[in-house]
Amino acid sequence: MSRLIVVSNRVPVPDGTGAAPAGGLAVALQAALEERGGLWLGWSGKTNEEAETSDLTVIDAGPVTYALTDLTANDVDEYYFGFANRVLWPICHYRLDLAEYGRKEMAGYFRVNRFFAERLAPLVRPDDIIWIHDYHLIPLATELRHMGLTNRIGFFLHIPWPPADVLFTMPVYDQIMRGLAQYDLLGFQTDHDLENFAGCLRRMGLGDTTDGFQFHAQGRSFRGGAYGIGIETAAFAEFARNAEANPTVQKTRRSVENRDLIIGVDRLDYSKGLTQRIDAFERFLAMNPQAQNRVTFLQITPKSRSEVPEYEAMQRQVAEQAGRVNGAIGTVDWVPIRYINRSIARPVLAGLYRIARVGLVTPLRDGMNLVAKEYVAAQDGEDPGVLVLSRFAGAARELNGALLVNPYDVDGTAHALARALTMSREERRDRWRQMMDVMLTNDVSHWCRSFLADLTA
């Protein structure tokens, strides 16, 4: 069996026991690496002005080797905060108004990908399989091909892929598309993302597809596919059952005083629809005055990319909006919105999912959204909560038991909340079972095996 090499922007460094940090993706990739033997390479998260001449930090953990490279502060500014997160991220999430293209940042993005290739190439054996992850590293295959590597190289995009009219607003879209054509297998979250890629390829005259999966461009043939990522469903369900006894979870249950709990969990990001969500909850309370003082909305939103101005502005906006609603509607003994702006330990989070009557997951655009799947997996199958899910999340392609909403439609989302909170136990169980069956079949291990099977076929 060929050795596997995984490359990602960040690497989940193992702890002293050799285990990778908790999380479905890390668990699945580590399992695949252990099965084949392999290497996981990426940025250490540290800045070092001598990064170009510094040695890799290498951690051996049995059959898996973790290789970490530092970057200079300038690299991080241009490659990560600059082009990746101020051009590619907003454009892939259809936010053209927030894309800030700069030639310097573009050059830094391609330069750092070349640097990653230079670090990786000496470690690659002729029969290695290489799996590259996400939008930070799109040009990496091009750089490796320029260095003469002929290995099979796969790429998985964890975020959405936009249609041609959106992508083409990016000045270097042609270099990005040509970079993707250097892979042997492209993985997208949904069939819609795959269709968008095929449309971009045709519109720019770079290539075409014969069946929607086999592509021809730049004298190469390569494949594309939809591989919706999952979670470790069965393990997370057991985790949530145990987490219900967590002291913090029990204290939270007591503190809501028999009120119904609605939960939202999102990284602070403009793609998550946080302001629209708060508007919808406020509208729900206005339309259903009998629900006032009987429902609490817990929104957990850890800070994200605070070095990017748009994120700092959003942090202030969401906090002010939650404060305004609490000030206008709250009472001495009831705070409608509990807004938590920091990370919550995973055992606590799993327990909070389990006690919440509604999971409110309403991104404006999302590649998949694993919070939706974690919420479903955490439920008590005898008395499950209801998932209210944006139809613009990739998870909506799989979770047909959710109440699908348009997050831009504040009234529609408010009506969905009312329906979720009054839904019969029988309907809730039927909807949960439908989603859980899909998630047990298409868990994160299945995602990993499916992609690697197609890459090596």
The catalytic residue positions are 158, 366
* Residues in Cβ contact with 234 at an 8 Å cutoff, skipping those fewer than 6 apart: 440, 443
H or E segment to which residue 372 belongs: helix 370-378
At residue 120, what is the residue type? Answer: L
H and E: helices and strands count for the chain: 17, 16
Residue 372 near residue 402 (C-beta atoms within 8 A): yes
* Tokens matching residue 44: 């250490």
> Alpha-carbon distance 130 to 152, whole Å?
6
Residue 354 near residue 378 (C-beta atoms within 8 A): yes
List 187's β-bridge partners, or say none: 156, 225
List 235's β-bridge partners, or say none: none
Neighbours of 323 (CB within 10 A): 13
Residue 196 near residue 168 (C-beta atoms within 8 A): no
List 209's β-bridge partners, or say none: 215
**Phi/psi of residue 355, nearest 5 degrees:** -90, -5
> Alpha-carbon distance 389 to 360, whole Å?
6
